[in-house]
Amino acid sequence: MIDIKFLRENPDVVRENIKKKFQDNKLPLVDEVIALDIEKRATQQKADGLRASRNKLSKEIGGLMKAGKKDEAAAVKAQVQAQSDELIATEAKEKELDERILKIMMTIPNIIDASVPIGKDDSENVEVQRYGEPVVPDFPVPYHTEIMERFNGIDLDSARRVAGNGFYYLMGDIARLHSAVISYARDFMIDRGFTYCIPPFMIRSDVVTGVMSFAEMEAMMYKIEGEDLYLIGTSEHSMIGKFIDQIVPEAELPYTLTSYSPCFRKEKGAHGIEERGVYRIHQFEKQEMVVVCKPEDSMMWYDKLWQNTVDLFRSMDIPVRTLECCSGDLADLKVKSVDVEAWSPRQKKYFEIGSCSNLGDAQARRLRIRVNGENGKYLAHTLNNTVVAPPRMLIAFLENNLQADGSVRIPEALRPYMGGKDVIVPKK
């Protein structure tokens, strides 16, 4: 969410940014919020005048009473009451205008970084760099659930009976591999200086609207019936929410955190074969990284965060590439974002396994996360990035480490988490 003062002083910049994001339907909102802001400030000025006048008249009443001028005092009291009634109405109008302005401001997209490529949707994202050599083996690579089934490692039918589509049971070596990846990712980030955290898995609505847009909230979040609680779609939601209404000392920045959580997502809509199995599901686990920092440091941390994911996947011999998200593919709160994609030998193409985002001060403005600096208070910058989400990670891992005999090689970095095994062998 951008600053209303910035919009007031730079309406053309805001309009141009909306056009760059191909959201022309939002252009009228700029003029609408400017008009509401003018009305709100006039209403606020009127309220201030009423308060000052009421206070002045209230002081006069005592003097009149002492002087025995009861009739005049009564008349002033009537004036004070009338102004109090008018003030109540004016304050109610001011509150209504504030709410209308906030609702609009929360739908106007954040100002994107100048380096973001302009494009309508994810088809116009731009490849930045490849890491590792993509390999297509000289034997067929089965669909990932077929690989898992050979290890007796997945049961989708039972999961459907228990919870419906979009869920799974992982078992045996595949379940162990899932946990091993999470544990390895946790230690990988701790070794890079991040503080490990397990956050609440449910958050209140004020945190939800602080970390994401209304459209994202509706598409992703599961609400707990009868309570002001939502299941998190990623631990970033809970981790950024940790700082709501906080004034943090500048000397403590940056906060570099890595968090584990289950994640719950609606994942509405029909998906093709490449998004079945464990690719797009309602429940999964994830290791995340979150940074809260000074504005001047956020781009430096942005580059560090996505590099961590690249390094993690390369340590497990998985080729990856980075893909710069174009303007039309950026969520409204994001300033800049890059996807990390893993190579799929079966599909002979890359697919997304994580996303790194710089949100500037948008989340901090919504959640009122301020920094107490030498020259006064200012809004922090927030960033987040996927370390690893094992369902998609498992696809990349199994396909890239599958051997001709059906066994799966365990890279050296992961062996301590797999009981020292250097290979897992299918049951059938």
Q: Which of 105, 136, 157 is the endpoint of a domain? A: 105
Same-domain pairing of 20 and 168? no
Percent of the chain surpassing pLDDT 90: 83
Which token pair is 407? 């066994």
Across all residues in the chain, what is the average pLDDT? 93
Same-domain pairing of 68 and 169? no
User: Quick check: 328 pLDDT over 70?
Assistant: yes
Which token pair is 401? 């480490």
Nearest Cα residue to 257 out of 286, 236, 231 = 236
Same-domain pairing of 97 and 138? no
Residue with tokens 């799974």: 168
pLDDT in tens, 221-246: 999 999 999 999 999 999 999 999 99
Same-domain pairing of 96 and 204? no
- Number of Cβ within a 10 Å radius of residue 342: 25
User: Quick check: 97 pLDDT over 90?
Assistant: yes
pLDDT value of residue 62: 78
pLDDT value of residue 276: 65
Q: What is the pTM of this model?
A: 0.89
pLDDT in tens, 159-187: 999 998 889 999 999 999 999 999 999 99
Residues spanned by the domain of 28: 4-105
Q: Which of 105, 132, 156 is the endpoint of a domain? A: 105
User: Quick check: 284 pLDDT over 50?
Assistant: yes
The 3-state secondary structure of 206-258, one letter per residue = HHHHHHCCHHHHHHHCEECCCCCCEECCCHHHHHHHCCCCCEEEHHHCCEEEE
User: Quick check: 117 pLDDT over 60?
Assistant: yes
52 falls within a domain: yes
Same-domain pairing of 158 and 198? yes
pLDDT value of residue 352: 94
Q: What is the band of 271 on the pLDDT scale with cuts at 50, 70, 90?
A: low
How far are the Cα atoms of 219, 324, 331, 337, 340 from residue 327, in angstroms, in the given order?
20, 10, 9, 9, 17
pLDDT value of residue 275: 52
User: Quick check: 213 pLDDT over 90?
Assistant: no
pLDDT value of residue 290: 98
111 falls within a domain: no
pLDDT value of residue 273: 47
Same-domain pairing of 71 and 40? yes
- Across the range 325-340, mean pLDDT stands at 96
* DSSP notation for 87-155: HHHHHHHHHHHHHHHHHHHTTSPPPPPTTSPP-SSGGG-EEEEEES-----SS----HHHHHHHTT-EE
112 falls within a domain: no
pLDDT value of residue 220: 85
Q: What is the band of 80 on the pLDDT scale with cuts at 50, 70, 90?
A: confident
114 falls within a domain: no
Same-domain pairing of 152 and 32? no
117 falls within a domain: no
Q: Which of 76, 105, 134 is the endpoint of a domain? A: 105
Same-domain pairing of 217 and 70? no
Instruction: List residues bridging with 410 in a β-sheet.
Output: none
166 falls within a domain: yes
Rounded distance between C-alpha atoms, residue 395 and residue 174, angstroms: 11
pLDDT value of residue 74: 85
pLDDT value of residue 215: 73
pLDDT in tens, 350-399: 999 999 999 999 999 999 999 999 999 999 999 999 999 988 899 999 99
Same-domain pairing of 326 and 379? yes
217 falls within a domain: yes
**Domain harbouring 50, CATH code:** 1.10.287.40
58 falls within a domain: yes
Q: What is the band of 76 on the pLDDT scale with cuts at 50, 70, 90?
A: confident
How far are the Cα atoms of 303, 346, 401 from residue 379, in angstroms, in the given order?
21, 46, 45
**Domain harbouring 207, CATH code:** 3.30.930.10
Rounded distance between C-alpha atoms, residue 363 and residue 244, angstroms: 10
Same-domain pairing of 72 and 156? no
The count of structural domains within the chain is 2
User: Quick check: 23 pLDDT over 50?
Assistant: yes
Same-domain pairing of 137 and 84? no
Q: What is the band of 268 on the pLDDT scale with cuts at 50, 70, 90?
A: low
pLDDT value of residue 428: 82
Same-domain pairing of 14 and 60? yes
5 exposure class (CB count in 10 Å sphere: 0-12, 13-18, 19+):
exposed
- Across the range 127-152, mean pLDDT stands at 96
User: Quick check: 77 pLDDT over 90?
Assistant: no
pLDDT in tens, 394-411: 999 999 999 999 999 999
